[in-house]
């Protein structure tokens, strides 16, 4: 199944997703798309912006309330503690409340899940987010603290802090599931959950197009899934052009003599999808399954 979906993505997009199969404790096989590095980086940048905005507003309120009431050292301690509290509560709260999605992850359609296929436990969420302190914020905090040491010692001190951050940041590039240290410790992973349009209306749609059995026999299950993925795409100029190309190929293959106007392309493809799906399901009931157009139905070999 995963290989077939990879073929569909390659056919439509020219590249396959990094897909994994996870077996749940109940023995159910779950297919997931692993989030790539770019998606995770964009989600983190969005979350970092929201966190900085919330932190800045809180600091402004505290400055107005506590001006000239505390010393500089106490104020610095309070600021650092609030920053620690906000950045951890931000990620932990949203991942607990939104089934593993922060605002940044929701915008980029990502989710945190348990690698074993079980429920995402609060302990795992807390562990993966507290680990971020050791991964990023602690070494960066030490780097910018600028201790009073000699120039040579400070160089090695700064190099060690930055080296630690770079080493940890590179970890997702050296494992197939793009796991950072927090994911390895907590037993989690980040997956892509793209929003797709439901195709129930495609099956139930009444249409003026009628196809013969010989025309429907031209294609198999793989081609039907390719067409389904295409019809699920959001409407755009690029999608419309691809639909027109696919429509011309289908008309040529099945011998459809009547030309299909450009504005009727989506309607024609939906009608063909509905008819082809019903035909393949009916054939499968009689033991005649066709994987793709290059394969004869099993009962006819």
**pLDDT tens, position by position, 106-124:** 999 899 988 888 888 999 9
Separation of alpha carbons 97 and 95, rounded Å: 6
CA distance 241 to 246: 9
User: Does pLDDT of 255 surpass 60?
Assistant: yes
pLDDT attached to residue 68: 58
Distance CA 47, CA 135 (A): 17
Tell me what the pLDDT averaged over the chain comes to: 76
Q: What is the dihedral of CA 203, 225, 196, 19, to 10 degrees?
A: 150
In a 3-state reduction of DSSP, which class is residue 23? strand
> Residues 219, 283: contact at Cβ < 8 Å?
no
pLDDT per residue as tens digits for the range 1-55: 445 555 555 555 545 567 788 776 656 667 788 888 888 989 999 998 998 898 8
Query: What is the pTM for the complete model shown?
Result: 0.57
Inter-residue contact 223 to 292 (CB < 8 Å)? yes
Q: How far apart are CA 87 and CA 16, in angstroms?
A: 34
pLDDT value at residue 104: 93
The per-residue pLDDT for 131 is: 87
Identify the DSSP state of 118: S
Looking at per-residue pLDDT, the higher value among 73 and 270 belongs to: 270
C-alpha separations of 252 from 202, 213, 219, 276 in Å: 22, 16, 12, 16
Nearest residue to 18 (alpha-carbon basis) of 169, 125, 175, 124: 175
Scanning the chain, the segments in alpha helix (DSSP H) are: 2-13, 37-66, 72-97, 103-107, 122-132, 138-145, 151-170, 181-186, 200-204, 213-216, 221-232, 237-254, 265-285
Cα–Cα dist 21/32, whole Å: 6
CB of 50 within 8 A of CB of 103? yes
The answer to whether 48 and 31 are in contact (CB under 8 A) is no
287: left (phi over 0), alpha (psi -120 to 50) or beta: left
Q: What is the mean pLDDT of residues 254-269?
A: 86
| H/E stretch holding 110 | strand 110-114
Q: Could you read off the pLDDT of 146-199 as tens digits, one per residue?
A: 655 556 666 676 777 777 777 877 888 888 888 888 899 999 999 988 655 444
Mean pLDDT of 86-105: 89
Q: What is the CA radius of gyration of the chain?
A: 27
The predicted-structure confidence for 222-247, as pLDDT tens digits, reads as follows 777 778 888 888 778 888 888 888 89
Check if the beta carbon of residue 268 is closer than 8 Å to that of residue 199. no
Whole-angstrom Cα distance, residue 86 to residue 147?
25
Cα 190 to Cα 39: distance, rounded to the nearest angstrom: 10
pLDDT at 125: 92
Instruction: Return the higher-pLDDT residue of 2 and 279.
Output: 279
CB atoms within 10 A of CB 218: 15
């Amino acid at each position: 199944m995963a290989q077939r979906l990879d073929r569909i993505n390659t056919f439509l997009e020219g590249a396959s997703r990094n897909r994994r199969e996870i077996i749940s404790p109940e023995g159910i096989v779950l297919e997931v798309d692993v989030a790539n590095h770019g998606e995770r980086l964009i989600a983190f940048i969005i979350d970092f912006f929201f966190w900085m905005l919330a932190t800045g507003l809180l600091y402004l309120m505290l400055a107005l309330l506590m001006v000239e009431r505390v010393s500089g050292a106490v104020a610095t301690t309070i600021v650092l503690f609030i920053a620690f509290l906000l950045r951890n509560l931000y990620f932990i709260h949203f991942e607990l409340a939104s089934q593993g999605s922060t605002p940044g992850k929701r915008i980029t359609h990502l989710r945190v899940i348990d690698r074993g296929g079980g429920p995402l436990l609060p302990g795992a969420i807390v562990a993966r987010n507290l680990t971020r302190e050791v991964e990023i914020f602690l070494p960066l905090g030490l780097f910018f603290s600028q201790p009073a040491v000699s120039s040579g010692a400070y160089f090695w001190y700064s190099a060690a802090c930055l080296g630690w951050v770079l080493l940890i940041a590179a970890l997702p590039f050296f494992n197939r599931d793009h796991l950072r240290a927090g994911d390895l410790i907590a037993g989690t992973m980040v997956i892509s959950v793209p929003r797709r349009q439901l195709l129930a209306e495609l099956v139930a749609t009444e249409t003026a197009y009628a196809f013969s059995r010989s025309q429907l026999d031209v294609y198999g299950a793989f081609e039907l899934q390719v067409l389904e993925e295409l019809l699920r795409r959001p409407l755009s100029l690029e999608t419309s052009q691809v639909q027109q190309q696919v429509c011309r190929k289908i008309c040529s293959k099945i011998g459809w003599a009547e030309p299909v106007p450009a504005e009727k392309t989506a309607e024609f493809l939906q009608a063909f999808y509905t008819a082809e799906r019903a035909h393949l399901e009916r054939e499968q009931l009689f033991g005649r399954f066709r994987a793709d157009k290059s394969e004869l139905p099993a009962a006819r070999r």
